[in-house]
Amino acid sequence: MKYTEEHEWLRPDPEEGPDVVVVGITEHAATQLGDLVFVELPEEGKTVAKDDEVVVIESVKAASDIMAPVDGEIIEVNGAIVENPALVNEDPLGAGWFFKMKVDDMSTLDAMMDEAAYKDFI
């Protein structure tokens, strides 16, 4: 699993393909945001560039945007969190994932933090 400074996590999903990752926000981010009340996900099939706004979330504390961590194509979204945004708070590293994407260049993940580096970061 890799982590960004924007508190997103990326987990390779080899069952979907060698260049597919699952993306979500970290437990730290979910805690800081508070209880989520709304999630707007991108359309499947959408091509995104790193730092494009792809997800809008609203919590009891604030509204926030989730940016694309890498260049690629959104291939699947987690509709369960649209129906029940609290899943992100309850299980941010599991059932609360946001989307799966086919990454243009998997080597871009090499520059991201591993778990130990992320823990030091926060």
pLDDT tens for 58-95 read 999 888 999 999 999 999 999 999 999 999 999 999 99
Which pair of tokens denotes residue 92?
């941010």
- 115 within a domain of the structure (yes/no): no
pLDDT tens for 13-38 read: 999 999 999 999 999 999 999 999 99
pTM: 0.94
Residue entry with tokens 């243009």: 104
What is the number of domains present in the chain?
1
Angle, vertex CA 64, rays to CA 58 and CA 70, nearest 5: 125
- 24 within a domain of the structure (yes/no): yes
- pLDDT, residue 62, reads 84
- 22 within a domain of the structure (yes/no): yes
pLDDT tens for 33-53 read: 999 999 999 999 999 999 999
Give me the domain span that covers residue 98: 7-107
- The domain that holds 68 is classified in CATH as 2.40.50.100
At residue 63, the 3 state secondary structure works out as strand
Residue 86: φ, ψ to 5°: -60, -20
- 36 within a domain of the structure (yes/no): yes
